[in-house]
């Protein structure tokens, strides 16, 4: 089944008002690839100015709180980022699971909160190096999907991202066989949970993806795009990934 490719960038705790100039070229590349969806998640402080600068580009948040409002000092709700101009949010990113000790239940609650406020969601899952070395990668990812996926999950508003945690920002990339296998496992688990509608849900790959390896990874079955970290910070590195997706979609 042909699913429209999505290339999503995640700036993480990087960027500034001056850095938003990179979005001009990225937006131009996105417009030249009408068969590919392009999105950029930026720090909360940059959502409003990024949306104002490139309204044609899908701008998103890197995380939201599970509550709609309340006494949660330092947190940002889904309604707040939507009001600022966000169209989507990332939840369950491996760095939040690792650094902030977030659980799959947290990702479940955040996904539901984002959906309530009209945001689309990129839900992340992925194993650590220790889990892979122990032969538990498949079971870990299946369990994360089972515990993170909202009850009403649908391809219309939710995208899954498989990101092996040991490959993020390290320059290490799994073999093509391993990526294909894990995406197939994720697809099968989704289908078990939500039926044939899982065939419409996009599954992105994330983890040291660059312009150099994008074409090979994006050509794999069940790889419907990419969640890109460091390479999304500059147009020079991000645009080749968009162009690789465009070539796969023609």
Question: What residues are labeled active site?
Answer: 93, 163
- Could you give the 3-state DSSP secondary structure of residue 228? strand
Q: Which residues of 187-206 are buried (b: 16+ CB within 10 A; e: fewer)?
A: bebbeeebeeebeebbbbbb
161 with 122: CB under 8 angstroms? yes
d(C-alpha 146, C-alpha 105), whole Å: 10
Interacting residues of 184 by C-beta distance below 8 A, sequence separation 6+: 221, 222
Instruction: Classify the C-alpha dihedral 123-97-193-111 as positive or negative.
Output: negative
Q: How many CA atoms lie within 13 A of 84 on its CB side?
A: 23
Residue 64 phi, psi (nearest 5): -140, 160
Both tokens of residue 23? 């979005």
């Amino acid at each position: 089944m042909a699913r429209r490719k999505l290339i999503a960038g995640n700036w993480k705790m990087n960027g500034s008002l001056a850095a938003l100039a990179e979005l001009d070229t990225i937006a131009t590349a996105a417009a030249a690839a009408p068969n590919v969806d392009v999105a950029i998640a930026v720090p909360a402080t940059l959502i409003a100015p990024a949306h104002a600068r490139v309204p044609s580009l899908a701008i998103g948040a890197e995380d939201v709180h599970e509550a709609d409002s309340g006494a949660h000092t330092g947190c940002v709700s889904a309604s707040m980022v939507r009001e600022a101009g966000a169209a989507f949010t990332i939840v369950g990113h491996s760095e939040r699971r690792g650094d902030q000790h977030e659980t799959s239940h947290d990702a479940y609650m955040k996904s539901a909160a984002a959906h309530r406020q009209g945001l689309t969601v990129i839900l992340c899952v992925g194993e650590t190096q220790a889990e892979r070395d122990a032969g538990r990668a498949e079971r870990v990812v299946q369990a994360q999907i089972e515990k993170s996926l909202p009850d009403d999950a649908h391809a219309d508003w939710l995208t899954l991202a498989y990101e092996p945690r040991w490959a993020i920002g390290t320059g290490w990339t799994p073999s093509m066989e391993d990526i294909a296998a894990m995406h197939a496992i994720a697809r099968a688990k989704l289908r078990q949970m939500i039926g044939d509608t899982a065939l419409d849900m996009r599954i992105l790959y994330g983890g040291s993806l660059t312009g150099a390896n994008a074409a090979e990874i994006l050509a794999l079955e069940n790889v419907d795009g990419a969640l890109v970290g460091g390479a999304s910070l500059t147009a020079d590195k991000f645009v080749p990934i968009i162009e690789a997706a465009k070539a796969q979609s023609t």
